[in-house]
Amino acid sequence: MLESKKIGHGGDQALSDITGMDVESIRRGRREFDEDLSIRPAERIREVGGGQPSVKKRLIDRDGIRELIERRNRYFE
């Protein structure tokens, strides 16, 4: 991100062309780098609400699995 500032006008796009990164990602990173980091909580990497939503864990249907195994075993007898 510092390189895009050194280049000046068009630096974000130039860095995007060189690295293959999205130009908006470079701009966002540069803005974050320029911000005062003291306002960010030290114990968090992402901002609150950032990242993917939690995935609900599926419960294992043990009886269903047993039935499938028993059917498979009967088929191959």
CB 1 within 8 A of CB 33: yes
Q: How far is it, in rounded angstroms, from Cα 65 to Cα 61?
A: 6
- 10-residue block means of pLDDT along the chain (77 residues)? 74 86 87 74 69 70 82 83
Residue 41 confidence (pLDDT): 67
41: which DSSP letter? -
Residue 66 confidence (pLDDT): 84
Instruction: Look up residue 46 and give its two tokens.
Output: 């992402």
Q: What is the dihedral of CA 29, 31, 34, 36, to 10 degrees?
A: -100
Instruction: Look up residue 62 and give its two tokens.
Output: 């043990």
pTM here?
0.44
Residue 1 confidence (pLDDT): 54
Instruction: Look up residue 73 and give its two tokens.
Output: 């075993």
